[in-house]
Amino acid sequence: MTVAQSLLDRLDDPTLLCTNAFIGGEHVSKGADGAHFAVHNPANGEVLAELPDLGAEAVNTAVDSAYEAQRAWAATTGTHKSDTLKVWHRLWVENADDLATIMTAEQGKPLAEAKGEVLYGASFLEWYSEEAKRIYGDTIPGHREDTRILVLKEPVGVVGAITPWNFPNAMIARKVAPALATGCAMVAKPAAETPLSTLALAVLAERAGLPMELFSVVTASRGAPIGDAMTSNPRVAKITFTGSTEVGRQLMRQGADQIKKLGLELGGNAPFIVFEDADIDAAVQGALQSKYRNAGQTCVCTNRIYVQSGIVKEFTKALATAVAEMQVGDGFGENVDIGPLINEASVQKVSEHIEDAVVRGGTVETGGETHSAGPLFFKPTVISGATDDMLIAHEETFGPVAPIFTFDNEAEVIERANDSEFGLAGYFFSRDVARVFRVAEGLKTGMIGVNTGLISTAVAPFGGVKQSGIGREGSRYGAEDYLNIKYVCLGGIT
């Protein structure tokens, strides 16, 4: 299989660039009839590697192995699970530079940002390696004198994971870490655009001594056949998916026949509200972090910025000035802030949202067009005069465009912010304590950043309400999603 020498040359350990899938403890180098697919660098179109294009058969083989291995894994002590995850975590951190390099090559994000994501991913391993020893049950006073009641927490079993291209390291991390810590096994299907990061993690997992029947990585160019195989296999107890609401809906429909457990992290349309009592400089920094992280390709990215009328001019000028200074370029370049978008469809969507906004009266303050670095590069953009009838007010742009809406009062902005079928993240800036509580309670989202644009961490529950998803990832709540509750009633105790 092809592997780009240019990428191998950048790695301290070239064996991390793996072109085999991991199926039920075996390395698989070929799909049926030799089918394979190519992974490209979005910055320049170079083919980085060719991988086996696998299908339902590989999923079923992986699930069968996982099914057997999971029972033995569940029976091990919390300390054993913890120790194994700790070794994986150590190798993850030790190889962070190479993992970041692989990520930048296949995903495009700037190298420093990729390294940040690798360490963010590793933090889930660390956190759940500690939590593996604390999967506590409960006791409840009996309802009769001769009874005692126990509540046991048991791993759900084999979990099918489908992960996205925008965070190729952290999204698998926050699924596999709680799954293994609670005694589950996982069959993962990384996005076709960015499978190399997950494969590199699998190489490290194997080195860490994890029985690899517990963690298969199915490489495939298309998600639908893999989703079908996972949802129709009765040995898969749960599906965890991060990606679009449309695909989440599809998996939910498919999982209905077998009442699959589901964890869904879906789309967002995050409002970012700046009140007149806010620290405007801090709000501008928060908007930069929340909007332009990963070139705006983040589910929790700000999609709509609402600024109170008295400060809208000042805020717009400050944001546009800062955005105009951002450097666009190849993620391996020096001081680059914004890498390429993932594909042509993303560029088209961003362009469409900007055109629509301009037709409806918006003004491009900075950016607004593709960048000379290449066809997938887009200039970070600020649009003033945004209105609620624009596409950008209702659809997730998933690109580096910040539309600025104006509002007059608190009740009005809460209503407009909540006018969305999505409810993942929301942000606001205010120094009024009473307002902080009112607005945090009023916004219908699963996560809220107050006076900060960065909310993602392994120690807190990440997840949405409404059509943004089901379940939580990270923190002890993230572990609960991989556990069944079993109640045992002990009678005859006299």
Residues marked active site are found at 265, 299
Contact present, 365 and 384 (Cβ < 8 Å): yes
The residues, any chain, with a CB within 8 Å of residue 127's CB and separated by 6 or more, are: 177, 458, 459, 474, 475
CB 462 within 8 A of CB 264: no
Beta bridge partners of 384: 363
> Cβ of residue 243: shortest distance to ligand SIN, in angstroms?
8
Measured distance CA(345)–CA(165) in Å, rounded: 14
Q: Taking the CA of residue 27 as centre, how many other CA atoms within 13 Å lie in the half-sphere pointing to its CB?
A: 10
**Of residues 109 and 260, the one with the C-beta less far from ligand SIN:** 109
Q: How far is the CB of 439 from ligand SIN (least distance, A)?
A: 21
Residue count, binding to ligand SIN (CB under 6 A) = 9
**Residue 170 makes contact with ligand SIN by CB under 6 A:** yes
- Beta-carbon neighbour count of residue 106 at 10 Å? 25
Q: How far is CA 425 from CA 114, 157, 444, 454, in A?
A: 22, 30, 9, 10
117 binds ligand SIN (CB under 6 A): no
Q: Which of 98, 126, 213, 265 binds ligand SIN (CB under 6 A)?
A: 265
Q: Does 319 bind ligand SIN (CB under 6 A)?
A: no
Judged by CB under 6 A, does residue 167 bind ligand SIN? yes
- The binder of ligand SIN chosen from 100, 202, 300, 323 (CB under 6 A): 300
Q: Which is nearer to ligand SIN, 406 or 456 (CB)?
A: 456
- The residue (of 396 and 410) whose beta carbon lies closer to ligand SIN is 396
Q: How far is the CB of 431 from ligand SIN (least distance, A)?
A: 25
Per-residue contact flags (x/-) with ligand SIN for residues 445 to 474, judged by CB under 6 A: -----------x------------------
Contact region with ligand SIN (CB under 6 A), list: 200-208, 297-305, 309-317, 440-448 = 297-305
**Residue in 339, 483, 306 with CA at minimum distance from that of residue 410:** 306
213 binds ligand SIN (CB under 6 A): no
Tokens, residue 238: 């749960």
| Distance separating alpha carbons of residues 315 and 324, to the nearest angstrom | 14
Give the x-and-dash track for 229-248 against ligand SIN (CB under 6 A).
-------------x------
* Segment 403 to 442, residues that bind ligand SIN, using CB under 6 A: none
**Residue choice 70, 166, 233, 366 for contact with ligand SIN (CB under 6 A):** 166
Distances (CA, A) of 276 to 177, 267, 433: 42, 29, 14
Q: How far is CA 333 from CA 109, 120, 337, 339, 373, in A?
A: 11, 22, 9, 9, 11
Binding residues for ligand SIN (CB under 6 A): 166-167, 170, 242, 265, 298-300, 456
